[in-house]
Chains A and B, each alone.
Chain A
Amino acid sequence: MKVIVPVKRVIDYNVKARVKADQSGVDLANVKMSMNPFDEIGVEEAIRLKEKGKASEIIAVSIGPAQASETIRTALAMGADRGILVKTDGEVEPLAVAKILKAICEAEQPGLVITGKQAIDDDSNQTGQMLAALLGWPQATFAHKLEMGDGKADVEREIDGGLQTIEVKLPAVVTTDLRLNEPRYASLPNIMKAKKKPIDEKTPADYGVDVTPRLKVLKVTEPPKRTAGIKVKTAAELVDKLKEAGAF
């Protein structure tokens, strides 16, 4: 069974995003970029499936600028087998990403697609679900635990009230939540080996997908700021101040 892992190049999770002065977006010039952390969890899960003999080949797909090939290399160094880079300029919305991934799935016929539940830049939380719908496949979002069965998978999901387990028929789309696994670091030998692994370069036109954004971003602004208040000396004083402020 092939597994496809979409990987997005995003601002590194340790970097605080800064809004551009002209309100046109977030300043990404000279900012450290990394693989979306949820996608990293997806890559790790795919590798674990391969190590358990449940997956035969792992294909890392990235849709983005030329530098997204570095993100694919990271996935290859972790243990993915090959990459597909779909080169684009500018932002690509989740629906367009899902359409490209659908075309790739039709060509590659994977048994499973594992995506991050959301990317930490646009925080959309849409791509996996949209891909599943377009393919007419089942989905298991916010995965906490994945058990592969025969032609099906049991997925424990993180939901608002706790945990829920569902069974999905394969092929399926799984989206990762934080506690599915802890991604490994690539070893130096594996980083060297990854340089020889193939990456196919494509364009959205190869898949017949128009990636022109449909939502118009009118402006991007700073959120309202909070300022630090006062320090109190004792826990009793804290309670008294909160009561005075009408907090309870």
Chain B
Amino acid sequence: MASLVIAEHDGKTLKDATAKTVTAAAQISSPVHVLVAGSGIGAVAEAAAKLAGVEKVLAADDAIYARMVAEPMQALILSLADKYDAILAPATTSGKNVMPRVAAMLDTPQISEILKVVSPDTFERPIYAGNAIATVQAPAGKKVITVRTTAFKAGEGAGSAAVESVNAAGDPGLSKFVSEELSKSERPELTSARIVISGGRGMQSGENFHLLDKIADKLHAAVGASRAAVDAGFVPNDYQVGQTGKVVAPELYIAVGISGAIQHLAGMKDSKIIAAINKDEEAPIFQVADFGLVADLFKALPEMEQELTRLGY
């Protein structure tokens, strides 16, 4: 049959997570269609049509989808589900929000955060905060899947899929959007940045994160944080890297003042290169770091910045 990918976007731009989910979908069931639901999403649908490996884009343009609230999204996806044997979404907060509702109504188990498609019905997924990997086989019938997008690469080349409008499926009127407080940043997003620099409890305050910002600006890096730093109120929740926050796998991850609790490691240990700065040489972060520096971060960060300047960054 075919698979349906629920696009991740902010109303204006299509997120990278969509292309990576398309890659996973193509390994399960082809052709791949992408559902773009939102309000005024013409440009997003056009961008989805250009993704490699996409045959058709379904555009559901209606005010009720503006914030991708769970209940109307459930109704929309279910109205289209008949034609697909696999329905996938990236394991973002919006994917995690709606997909289990879809699975429940289809009476099928959801397979969460797949890391690998072993065969069209068999998948690898992390359990126990990434301390174990389960290989699971889905029963016959429709599959509902969320995808850990750091484990898949976006397809290469460009596509030219047709964009087709689909009807809105109604609003059950159970909930409504009130407001949003989004972090504004000129920097790349945590989950798609090539370089991530994160601070932990060792940063001591939110103001001290500007030491990381300076390095991030030079390297075009995203800034993240450990749970301890978020819990302490240094930075907002959307900075959190870890099993229950964001999972990242950049080319370079720099952990500063982060001890390396299991749940933090679960969110970054698939990074290509890991560098760590911590004054405690026993910190568990050094057991996974390719390059470790035992030092006071308040001395090390300005020195790093200087060296980067010297090298022309």
Contact = CB atoms under 8 A, between A and B. Distances in A.
Contacts of A220: 127, 132-135
Given A169-B174, A242-B252, A235 B295 contact: yes
B259 interface: no
Given A124-B112, A164-B177, A222 B304 contact: no
A33 to B, nearest CB: 13
Interface residues of B, number: 95
Interface in A110-144: 117-118, 120-134, 136-142, 144
The contact size tier of chain A is: 35 or more
Given A133-B104, A165-B180, 20 more contacts: A13-B263, A17-B129, A94-B110, A95-B109, A117-B244, A120-B128, A123-B243, A126-B100, A129-B101, A158-B93, A159-B93, A168-B174, A172-B174, A215-B139, A216-B136, A221-B132, A223-B130, A229-B291, A238-B304, A239-B307
B178 A166 contact: yes
Contact of A235 (B236, B287, B290, B307): B307
Interface string B77-102: 00000000000000011101111111
List of 10 A-B pairs having minimum Cβ-Cβ separation, nearest first = A138-B174, A229-B290, A235-B303, A17-B128, A129-B100, A133-B101, A130-B104, A126-B100, A247-B252, A138-B175
Given A121-B128, A137-B174, A235 B293 contact: yes
A130 B100 CA distance: 5
Nearest to B17: A160
Interface of A: 11, 13, 16-19, 26, 93-95, 98, 117-118, 120-134, 136-142, 144, 154, 157-169, 172, 177-179, 214-223, 226, 228-243, 245, 247-248
A230 B292 contact: yes
Contacts of A129: 70, 96-101, 104
B112 A134 contact: no
Given A98-B104, A239-B311, A240-B307, A139 B70 contact: yes
B231 A166 contact: no
